[in-house]
Amino acid sequence: MIAENVRSVLQKIAEGNPCGEKITLVAATKTRTADEINEAVAAGVTDVGENKVQEFTQKFDFVHGARRHFIGHLQTNKVKYLIGKTDLIQSLDRFELADELQKRAEKAEWAADCLLEVNIGSELSKSGFSYEEAGEAYKKIGAGYKNIRLRGLMAMLPLAGSDEEKAALVRKMRALFDALRAEDAGCVHLSMGMSGDWQLCVAGGSNMIRLGTSLFGERHYPA
Ligand SMILES: *Cc1c(COP(=O)(O)O)cnc(C)c1O
């Protein structure tokens, strides 16, 4: 089932987004076993993302052949466990985290590829830079944190709202992404889209989607 789901999504995104860019599928693997994740990788998944540090480290040695993303809220006291282990940290959501990442990465002589997370729906329940401050923050981190390499933007759409409202938020993110990319060739990823909204995100110019349920089925959390 996992393999079929992966192949079906890969087929749907094969033509790229309307901006003519390749779309990267990131499997969001929270609650999934290493065996399930390896099944997805065998079917063509190239990138996997965990959103809890504990799950990331527990499964790290048992998942093979995929780029590792961290996609969840990252506490500063857990940064040390990710140093040298991630290909992309998608959830750089505050300066305090950038400071800690810079300090630890520099000590390890490593550079952390990251996306700046934007709270595009201005939701109290979500972290991230506000849309208004994101451009300045991106430039500040890009210029002043030499062991952090910013590679683009990440955002999550609000669950509530009409498709038109969501599409407008995607267009806003794409506009910010294009503005930053015009000044920085390293700005390449716009990571937007989960199981419930990825088609809409891709239509608006997202080039990276993070899917859990569409690939693995409904999540069951232990009671
Ligand atoms: C779980 C998760 C996803 C995927 O969610 P689905 O709705 O299951 O596709 C994407 N991004 C982040 C940050 C997540 O934690």
State whether the beta carbon of 30 lies less than 6 angstroms from ligand 1.
yes
The backbone torsions φ and ψ at residue 211, rounded to the nearest 5 degrees and listed phi first, read -115, 130
Q: What is the pTM of this model?
A: 0.97
Average pLDDT, the chain: 97
State whether the beta carbon of 205 lies less than 6 angstroms from ligand 1.
no
C-alpha to C-alpha distance for 68 and 84, rounded to whole angstroms? 11
Is pLDDT at 223 greater than 70 in this prediction? no
Query: Tens of pLDDT along 108-165?
Result: 999 999 999 999 999 999 999 999 999 999 999 999 999 999 999 999 999 999 999 9
DSSP H/E element including 131: helix 131-144
Is pLDDT at 16 greater than 80 in this prediction? yes
Nearest CA to ligand 1 atom 2: 28
Percent of the chain with pLDDT over 70: 100
State whether the beta carbon of 193 lies less than 6 angstroms from ligand 1.
no
Ligand 1 midpoint to CA 140 (Å): 28
